[in-house]
Chains A and B, each alone.
Chain A
């Protein structure tokens, strides 16, 4: 419902859908402007709960999907801000407080792999505040996907869906699982605020590793052991660490094309003294 792209969908459909939304949910969605307003107010609500306002141009691992905001004097002892961002790309460069905005990871299920996981002092930054569509309505995705406005699917048979095209261009051509998977393998059919695994257990968007790990067992075990994925904070075993979860680095809908989406790098160092450029690097030199 909130995925309407005014350039690809005729405007009449937008109006009809918007009217439906007004009738069904009582939401003031009349046009693109109002959609933006709703998005903004949702973001403001999030800002109140987190004590900070997300800014699109400052991100951690994935552009757009992990926006963070600089807070001045977060560590008063040294006058540190919580983070320092790159002025050229917006990437987070430096953490004054590595545990800013984090919550405990929670108990992870025991795996009989000998790693046992070092989760006692594990914290994560919750994913849900960063999910665009999750935050568009007061109840998350369920605002639209409540069984009435958007009916629940009758079966799990894959079919073309025109919605959410900015995430998945073509649901039949999902770039994950090489054609063997589709939306409802991971998303719950009846509760869109949750993910769902193959046993039918609902999984929070904050803990995607519990879902991803069911197929990607090798990577999951590496992740539990601390070999795969990013962790910051203390280096000592058993110390407090902030863990990055799967979807903070990887986009599960396009992961088949790119492990990491391409980003812009930080500026290069100046060329060696006395050189106007570093073109000499590009031409072959020495013996081949």
Chain B
């Protein structure tokens, strides 16, 4: 008996030993690549590159919100220097604070939207997304057959279980799981409809979807490092430098609004927008998450988001939900308004309406 026990002990020790060694080696290798890769990549591109140091400094930078003002200033300077060198444009990285007494809201008229996708490409022009490999677009325009959306009275009474001899089973009101009533079904939605067909098609309606800036954002709950958070204006933003790229937020988001930089973003210098914000459209790096921020670099300075300005039919409205005179509040008061996937209890501040 005792011999056997000893043997087992030896075996387990061996196993533990080897596992520990293995982990140790991996850890060292991982750390080495982690520290070495940005430096070596930059250095190989240009040996006299001024941003080699700043890249390492960026790597060790803390969460932006928790930084001291001095550190923030330093971080901004580092970024501005790096972007200016990389894109050959005098780039400004703003850290304009959230506005006082403002809660941003957005309203979109699905009866007007013609599905021209201009908002999608306006967003790309404004927000420095990767243009190619990966192609990143923050707005998705769904083309949905008419009939998927209904407030009509005849549909409201459908979906009740049939009565039978043994009685009624279950209570179901207003449609069923596949054809909900009073909401929007994305069944048979097409997001890749061709650019060769003319829009609007009379048999379809169009629903652009972007980040809904939820009051209870599931992505923020899912983030293990709090790199994404809801700012005081109600906009969910990301500290790209603090993001670890685990993509938990992407899984958590019911709207498919988050995009991941699977590769090094390709942003042609001539198309780069040099007016950026730290939490907004500054160029991202590989392996971080990004999404719509309501153009934080614009809206914190009072201007409308780029998608709104591009919409040729005026289907998009933006404003302060705390101001009763704002366009969005007037729409909420006067029009038929709904939220997308209301049943998820995310309380979006992005409203769809019928104008």
Residues of chain A whose beta carbon lies under 8 Å from any beta carbon of chain B: 60-61, 78-79, 84, 86, 88-89, 91-95, 98, 118, 222, 225-237, 239, 244, 249, 259-260, 262-271, 278, 281-282, 284, 286-288
| Residue in A84, A232, A259 whose beta carbon sits within 8 Å of that of B125 in the complex | A84
Contacting pair B314 A281 (CB below 8 A): no
Residue contact B121 to A232, C-beta cutoff 8 Å:
no
Task: Tell me the residues in window 297-320 of chain B with beta carbons closer than 8 Å to chain A beta carbons.
Answer: 299, 302-304, 306, 308-314, 317-320
Chain A residues whose C-beta falls within 8 Å of the C-beta of B103 in the assembled complex: none
In the complex, the answer to whether A78 meets B275 with C-beta atoms within 8 Å is yes
Q: Is A94 within 8 A of B122, CB to CB?
A: yes
A283 nearest in chain B by CB position: B188
Give min CB distance, A254 to chain B, whole Å. 15
Known contacts A225-B330, A227-B327; A287/B178 CB under 8 A: yes
Q: Which 8 A-B pairs have the closest CB atoms?
A: A230-B314, A278-B192, A266-B117, A262-B198, A61-B312, A226-B327, A94-B125, A232-B309
Decide if B274 is an interface residue (CB 8 Å cutoff).
Answer: yes
The distance in angstroms between the C-alpha atoms of A79 and B92, with both chains bound, is 12
Minimum C-beta distance from A59 to chain B (A): 9
Query: Contact: B320 with A235, CB < 8 Å?
Result: yes
Instruction: For the A-B complex with A222-B355, A265-B116 known, give 17 more contacts whose Cβ atoms are closer than 8 Å.
Output: A91-B312, A94-B309, A226-B330, A227-B334, A227-B355, A232-B308, A234-B302, A236-B320, A237-B323, A249-B312, A266-B117, A267-B117, A267-B121, A268-B193, A268-B194, A282-B190, A286-B187
Interface of B is mostly: loop
- In Å, the complex CA distance between A268 and B116 comes to 10
Query: Hey, what's the 0/1 contact readout for B173-200 against A, CB within 8 Å counting as 1?
Result: 0000010000000011111111111111
Tell me, rounded to whole Å, the shortest Cβ–Cβ distance linking B321 to chain A. 11
Which residues of chain A have C-beta atoms less than 8 A from B311's C-beta? 230
Minimum CB–CB distance from A34 to chain B (whole Å) comes to 35
A93-B125, A288-B178 known; A235+B318 contact, CB < 8 A = yes
Q: Are A227 and B331 in contact (CB under 8 A)?
A: yes
Q: Bound state CA distance, A263 and B120, in angstroms? A: 16
Q: How far is the CB of A69 from chain B (nearest CB, A)?
A: 17
Enumerate B258-288 residues with CB–CB distance to A below 8 Å.
273-275
* A265, B312: Cβ atoms closer than 8 Å: no
Please report the C-alpha to C-alpha distance between residue A95 and residue B140 in the assembled complex, in whole angstroms: 21
Given the known inter-chain contacts A233-B303, A249-B312, please indicate yes or no for A284 contacting B199, CB distance below 8 A.
no
A286 to B330, CA, bound (A): 39
Tally of B interface residues using CB under 8 Å = 60
Known contacts A227-B327, A260-B200, A270-B135; A61 and B313 CB within 8 A of each other = yes
User: A259: nearest residue on chain B (CB-CB)?
Assistant: B112
Which residues from A are CB-within-8-Å of B126? 94
Assess whether B120 is in contact with A266, with CB atoms less than 8 Å apart. Answer: yes
Complexed CA–CA distance, A158 and B120 (Å): 46
Question: Which of B90, B115, B197, B199 has the most CB atoms of chain A within a 10 A radius of its CB?
Answer: B199
A contact residues around B320 at 8 Å (CB)? 235-237
Inside 8 A of A281's CB, which chain B residues have their CB?
188-192
Q: Report whether over half of chain A's contact residues are helix, strand or loop; otherwise say mixed.
A: loop
B131-149 interface with A by 8 A CB criterion: 135, 137, 140
Give the Cβ gap from B272 to chain A, nearest Cβ, in Å.
Answer: 10
Q: How far is the CA of A135 from the CA of B230 in the complex (A)?
A: 52
A185→B331 CA distance, assembly (Å): 32
State whether B309 touches A95 (Cβ < 8 A).
Answer: yes
| B311: nearest chain-A partner, CB-CB | A230
Report 24 cross-chain contacts, Cβ distance below 8 Å, ordered by A residue: A79-B90, A91-B310, A91-B312, A94-B125, A118-B325, A225-B334, A227-B334, A228-B314, A231-B314, A233-B303, A236-B320, A239-B302, A260-B312, A260-B313, A263-B199, A264-B116, A264-B196, A266-B117, A266-B118, A266-B120, A270-B135, A281-B188, A282-B190, A287-B178
Decide yes or no: A269 and B178 within 8 Å by CB, A60-B312, A235-B304, A262-B198 being known contacts.
no
Chain B, 317-348, CB within 8 A of any chain A CB: 317-320, 323, 325-327, 330-331, 334-335
B114 on interface, CB distance cutoff 8 Å:
yes
B114 touches A260 (CB 8 A): yes
Chain B residues lying within 8 Å of A249, measured Cβ to Cβ, are 312-314
Q: Is B89's CB within 8 Å of the partner chain A?
A: yes
User: In this complex, which of A78, A79, A228, A268 has the most chain B Cβ atoms within 10 angstroms of its Cβ?
Assistant: A268
Min C-beta distance of B157 to chain A, whole Å: 20
Please give, as numbers and ranges, the residues of chain B lying within 8 Å of A225 by CB-CB distance.
Answer: 327, 330, 334
Pair B302/A235 contact, Cβ less than 8 Å: yes
The reply to whether A234 and B304 form a contact with Cβ atoms under 8 Å apart is yes
- The interface bits of chain B over 32-75 (1 if a CB of A lies within 8 angstroms of the residue's CB, else 0) are 00000000000000000000000000000000000000000000
Of A78, A88, A94, A288, the residue contacting B310 (CB under 8 A) is A94
Across-interface contacts of B331 in A (CB, < 8 A): 227
A281 to chain B: closest residue by CB: B190
How long is the Cα–Cα vector from A92 to B116 in the complex, in angstroms?
12
List the A residue with the shortest CB-CB distance to B271: A84
A222 to B353, CA, bound (A): 14
Instruction: Scan residues 86-141 of chain B and give those whose CB is less than 8 A from a CB of chain A.
Output: 89-90, 92, 112, 114-118, 120-122, 125-126, 135, 137, 140
